[in-house]
Amino acid sequence: MSRFIFKFAVGKKGGATSGVWRLWTAKNQPDLYLAIDGLGGIKATVHCPRVDRPTWARYWGFASDTKYEVAKLVRAAQPGKRKLSWTGARLAPEVTLEWRVLISGGGLRKTPVVVDNDVKLLSPPAPTQTLILSVLIGPKTETEGYPRASGAKTHLLAEGRLCDDRRIWLIYYYVQTRTIGAQRRQYTGPAFGSMDEVYKHIETLRVIATASSSDGSLTFYDGRAERKRRA
Over the stretch 12-40, which tens digit does the pLDDT of each residue have? 988 999 999 999 999 999 999 999 987 76
Q: What single-letter amino acid sits at 151?
A: G
Entry field: residues in the chain: 231
Over the stretch 116-150, which tens digit does the pLDDT of each residue have? 999 999 999 999 999 999 999 999 998 889 999 99
Over the stretch 195-220, which tens digit does the pLDDT of each residue have? 777 667 666 678 888 999 999 999 99
Which pLDDT value is given to residue 181? 60
Q: Quote the CA–CA distance of 41 and 52 in Å, as a whole number.
A: 27
Which pLDDT value is given to residue 42? 86
Percent of the chain with pLDDT over 90: 63
Largest CA distance in the chain: 61
Over the stretch 146-173, which tens digit does the pLDDT of each residue have? 999 999 999 999 999 999 999 999 999 9
Which pLDDT value is given to residue 188? 62
Of 50, 89, 44, whose CA–CA distance to 63 is shortest? 44
The segment with the largest mean pLDDT, out of 100-104, 110-114, 198-202, 221-225, is: 100-104
Q: Is 199 helix (H, G, I), strand (E, B) or coil?
A: helix
Q: Quote the CA–CA distance of 74 and 115 in Å, as a whole number.
A: 30
Which pLDDT value is given to residue 105? 96
Which pLDDT value is given to residue 41? 77
Q: What single-letter amino acid sits at 74?
A: V
Alpha-carbon separation of residue 60 from 99, 122, 147, 212 (angstroms): 11, 25, 24, 11
Which pLDDT value is given to residue 76? 67
Please name the residues in contact with 226: beta carbons below 8 A apart, sequence gap of 6 or more.
Answer: 202
Please name the residues in contact with 10: beta carbons below 8 A apart, sequence gap of 6 or more.
Answer: 16, 17, 18, 103, 108, 121, 122, 123, 124, 125, 131
Of 18, 22, 19, whose CA–CA distance to 33 is shortest? 22
Which pLDDT value is given to residue 68? 67
As a whole number of Å, the end-to-end CA separation of the chain is 59
- pLDDT tier at 71, thresholds 50, 70, 90: low
Residue 4: phi, psi to the nearest 5? -85, 120
Burial (CB < 10 A; 0-12, 13-18, 19+), residue 174, is buried
Which pLDDT value is given to residue 6? 98
Over the stretch 76-109, which tens digit does the pLDDT of each residue have? 666 665 578 999 999 999 999 999 999 999 999 9
Give the start-to-end residue ranges of the domains of the chain: 5-224
pTM over 0.85: yes
Which pLDDT value is given to residue 39? 72
Alpha-carbon separation of residue 192 from 77, 97, 130, 196, 201 (angstroms): 10, 32, 31, 12, 16
